């Protein structure tokens, strides 16, 4: 399974929240789209019969999860209820809707959001200071703006691998450079940290560049997916000097 296959599999698991019978000029659909922005949920609008109440269904291509009324959707948007003793969040009232969405993988079309996730993964790797960090830059020339960041990362015991088409030479101590003109590397942006000896630290971001829509990406804290990414990169791309 390639990097593109992994991204496509996440995308194909998208769920759909369909809102029925919205009142005229209602903003409920846009508010819910914002609420579920990173949760691999598409919000659609449809109608049943005239003057029927507002409700929604949560489905995917294979399964019907739940139906909720408009009042519950509004309550969800008004904010989470504190958990017992004021700690955490009590989502019991919305369990039917939120439980199917409690995953460790998230999605976005927002490049700024994905860059923030990239920085978080790099910071996690730096703080752990051990293990493997694999980073794809599409073209190695894009590494130039990140040189200081990666020199700092290289002061740790991390094993750092960078990937990209060989349009320039990269020579930074402590980095293993995989200069390869493979089409997959040109189309993907990725950052994967294997967690070192701590599985709970595993994390990765994968994004593909489309011809029209810009980047579509996912990030995950699922150890199995992260291991799959790291194993694929380690087996697919030998170290080649640019």
Per residue in 119-128, pLDDT tens? 999 999 999 9
Helix (H/G/I), strand (E/B), else coil: 158 = coil
Per residue in 97-110, pLDDT tens? 887 776 667 888 88
Mean pLDDT, residues 9-14 taken together: 77
Mean pLDDT, residues 206-230 taken together: 85
Q: Give the C-alpha separation, 175 to 163, whole Å.
A: 10
* 111 pLDDT above the threshold of 80: yes
Mean pLDDT, residues 33-62 taken together: 86
Would you say the C-alpha torsion 221, 227, 233, 239 has a positive or negative sign?
positive
Q: Give the C-alpha separation, 144 to 148, whole Å.
A: 9
Domains of the chain, start order: 3-103 (3.40.30), 106-236 (3.30.870.10)
Quickly list DSSP for 46-83: E--STTPPPEEEEE-SS-EEEEEEHHHHHHHHT-PEE-
Report the candidate in 220, 223, 196, 242 with the shortest Cα–Cα distance to residue 13: 220
On whether the CB atoms of residues 28 and 73 are closer than 8 A, the answer is yes
Give the per-residue pLDDT at 86. Answer: 40
pTM for the complete prediction? 0.77
Give the per-residue pLDDT at 80. Answer: 58
Count CB-CB contacts under 10 A for residue 55. 17
Mean pLDDT, residues 45-59 taken together: 88
Mean pLDDT, residues 196-206 taken together: 93
């Amino acid at each position: 399974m390639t990097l593109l296959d992994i991204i496509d599999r996440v995308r194909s698991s998208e769920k759909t929240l369909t809102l029925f019978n919205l009142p005229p000029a209602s903003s409920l659909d846009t508010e819910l789209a914002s609420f579920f922005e990173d949760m691999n949920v598409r919000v659609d609008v449809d109608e049943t019969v005239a003057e029927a109440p507002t409700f929604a269904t949560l489905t995917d291509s294979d399964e019907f999860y739940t139906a909720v009324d408009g009042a519950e959707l509004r309550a969800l948007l008004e904010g989470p209820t504190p958990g017992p003793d004021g700690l955490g969040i009590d989502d019991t009232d919305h369990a039917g809707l939120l439980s199917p969405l409690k995953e460790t993988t998230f999605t976005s079309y927002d490049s700024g959001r994905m860059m923030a996730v990239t920085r978080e993964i790099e910071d996690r790797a730096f703080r752990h200071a051990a293990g493997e960090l694999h980073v794809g830059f599409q073209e190695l020339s894009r590494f130039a703006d990140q040189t200081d960041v990666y020199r700092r990362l290289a002061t740790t015991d991390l094993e750092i691998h960078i990937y990209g088409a060989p349009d320039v030479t990269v020579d930074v101590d402590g980095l293993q450079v995989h200069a390869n003109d493979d089409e997959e590397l040109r189309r993907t942006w990725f950052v994967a940290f294997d967690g070192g000896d701590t599985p709970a630290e595993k994390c990765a971001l994968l994004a593909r560049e489309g011809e029209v829509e810009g980047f579509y990406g996912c990030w995950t804290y699922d150890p199995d997916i992260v291991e799959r990414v790291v194993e694929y990169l380690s087996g697919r791309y030998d170290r080649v000097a640019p």
